Amino acid sequence: MKIKITVLFLFIFTFFSCNNEMEDTKLNNFFDREFKSMLIEYPESGTYMGRHDNNDKLTDMSLSSIEKRHRNSIRSLEKILSIKRSMLSENNKINYDLYVQKLRQSISGFEYMSYLMPIDQLGGIQISAANLVGVTPFNNLDDYSNYLKRLEALPRRIKQSMILMSKGIAEGIIPPKVVLKSVPEQIKAQFTISIEDSPFYDPFTEPPKSISSEVAQKAKEARLIISGKIMPAFIELHSFFIDKYLPSARTNISVVSLPNGEKYYKHLINYYTTTDLSAKEIHKIGKSEVKRIKEKMQSTIKQTGFKGSFQDFLEFIRSDKRFYYDEEEELLDGYRSICKKIDPKLSALFGKLPRIPYGVKPIPPYQAPSSPTAYYHGASDDGSRPGYFWANTYNLDTRPKYEMIALALHEAVPGHHLQISLAQEMKNVPEFRKRGGYTAFVEGWALYAESLGEEMGLYKDPYDKFGQLTYEMWRACRLVVDTGMHAFNWSRKDAVDYMLKNTGKTSYDINVEVDRYITWPGQALAYKIGELKIKELRKKSEDTLGENFNIREFHDLLLQNGAIPLYLLEEQVNNYIQSYK
């Protein structure tokens, strides 16, 4: 009898184990298909990742293709929901939940038709097409042949942008006029230069020596495409933008002035913060943080020996030439020097560090005037391109030295480069997990990383410390001004004045930033909301674990699963704390 029971038990165990493995296999196969489909649908993404099978193509942004991709998302959701979640491994349950959430957010966001606003001062074909050249490989003749095909496809892609924008005018879905003022110059920059100076011709200036003679012939083809097709397409876009798009643009800066705008802003808040916080709650949190940080800033001012009011000090650091470089290369070398000081200090705070290298580059001149102070681009999967911290060298008298340490910590290490590279190096996870787009985690971590400069001994100079506090205050102010403009009828001037009153940022930088919040509602909320949650979880861990708390172990825990929603991060930290009890 015992033998029969044992055999029956083994049969049942084997049956359920096999079924579990079947469901895991189904899910893994589903993720593989989804990733391959994404690379086909969005060839530029593949290029950035170092996946070069579709380097001869550009994303089809026709209305029919956009609608087709939406229908595909609905079908993908149906397929993944047909997989039995209860029979998945614990790790795959997380993958399943995150992908279901990703699909549902994409599907629910489609109704707001944001794709009808493909161009603004922060991005669009006038910026992305040229930037794509810099991440494209040019190692052999096939690379150049693929590139020529991509150049041939660019005029069509520009035309598709114009069709979307025309549809946006008809639907009343168009950005505010005030943020679009710099776009004509961005477009103009692509056709008022010589072919030799065009970023589209750059790959032909210094080809590999082994194929230089063959590339010379292809260079002739490129000149004809650039002069005869690409430049005329940008000229047409410029005329359309000046004559039709700008005159039709919104005068109201709030996203709620768009069709269904109030509901859209709620959707964006949830998407970017991964929380259910309301605009009112976030506005209140922001004001509280502004008050707290301002007290720290005033204390730091005393350490400098400055005599005068808070506003006097802000005016002093914005205008005194000692705080600014005279040459672009000096600024870039300054960032590189800071990064070299940070690198050897990382092992005291992290048990695991990424293998992927990084560098510092200037933001391209055609993009810089309307760009933020800096941004980060991750490395390619194939190792051919490192991660890059892109620094804005435009208007050097608006790029103060006292902000540089905080900015380097944010964009490079231990901020974006460290976190994103560790995610890219994750093993045994679906590809989408390596590129998790949870802004509250990614930007919350990078803002938290700025505060780690204190533990690294980097803020010994009170002006550098004030710069760090200015950056923290800047993100706190975002909670107030983003919700102010998009939910509480604030004007652009209200937002600019609030930032000028409370931060050490330069007037130029503040104006660029406020225009960014107008263009990109909700995104700027993610930084402070994410950082507050990370700091809350660290304090809870320190208080609960006492002597058992290990900062390297804690940081490794936060980063081991890549970017995830804040609620899942909290769950994982709570489990970590429980494991010590």
Q: Are 478 and 495 in contact (CB under 8 A)?
A: no
Rounded CA gap, 528 and 474, in Å?
A: 9
- Give the pLDDT confidence score for residue 12 in this predicted structure: 46
**Cα separation, 84 vs 106, whole angstroms:** 22
Q: What is the pLDDT of residue 5?
A: 53
What letters, b where the CB count within 10 A reaches 16 and e where it falls short, cover 118-146? bbbbbbbbbbbbbbbbebbbbeeeebbeb
pLDDT value for 15: 46
Q: What is the pLDDT of residue 19?
A: 62
Instruction: Taking each helix axis as running N to C, give the angle between helix 404-411 and helix 328-342, from 0 to 180 degrees, rounded to the nearest 10.
Output: 60
Please give the Cα distance from 558 to 500 (Å, whole number): 34
Could you tell me the CA-to-CA distances from 4 to 7, 9, 13 in Å, in that order? Answer: 5, 9, 14
Helix/strand/coil (H/E/C) assignment for every residue in 447-467: HHHHHHHHHCCCCCCHHHHHH
pLDDT score of 140 = 97
For the CA atoms of 229, 230, 235, 239, what is the dihedral angle to 10 degrees? Answer: 100
Q: Hey, CA dihedral for 524, 525, 526, 530, is it positive or negative?
A: positive
How far is it, in rounded angstroms, from Cα 522 to Cα 269? 5
Which two structure tokens, joined as six digits, stand for 149? Answer: 């095909």
- Going along 120-237, which residue ranges are E strands? none
pLDDT for 4 equals 55
Per-residue pLDDT of the chain (581 residues; tens, 9 = 90+): 555 555 455 444 444 455 678 999 999 999 999 999 999 999 999 999 999 999 999 999 999 999 999 999 999 999 999 999 999 999 999 999 999 999 999 999 999 999 999 999 999 999 999 999 999 999 999 999 999 999 999 999 999 999 999 999 999 999 999 999 999 999 999 999 999 999 999 999 999 999 999 999 999 999 999 999 999 999 999 999 999 999 999 999 999 999 999 999 999 999 999 999 999 999 999 999 999 999 999 999 999 999 999 999 999 999 999 999 999 999 999 999 999 999 999 999 999 999 999 999 999 998 999 889 999 999 998 888 999 999 999 999 999 999 999 999 999 999 999 999 999 999 999 999 998 789 999 999 999 999 999 999 999 999 999 999 999 999 999 999 999 999 999 999 999 999 999 999 999 999 999 999 999 999 999 999 999 999 999 999 999 999 999 999 999 999 999 999 999 999 999 999 999 87
Q: Which residue has the tokens 């340490």?
A: 405
- Phi first, then psi, for residue 478 (nearest 5°) are -60, -40
Separation CA 269–CA 579 (nearest Å): 33
The three-point CA angle 66-72-77 to 5° equals: 135
DSSP 250: B
Tokens of 142: 């096939």
pLDDT computed for residue 66 by the predictor? 98
How many angstroms separate the CA atoms of 340 and 121, rounded? 33
Annotate 193-216 with three-state secondary structure: CCHHHCCCCHHHCCCCHHHHHHHH
Distance CA 373, CA 370 (A): 10
Gyration radius (Cα) of the chain, Å: 25
Residue 580: predicted pLDDT: 85
- The ranges assigned to domains in the chain are 2-41+62-116, 125-251, 265-533
| Cβ atoms of 544 and 581 closer than 8 Å | no
**C-alpha distances out from residue 491 to 220, 324, 481, Å:** 51, 31, 9
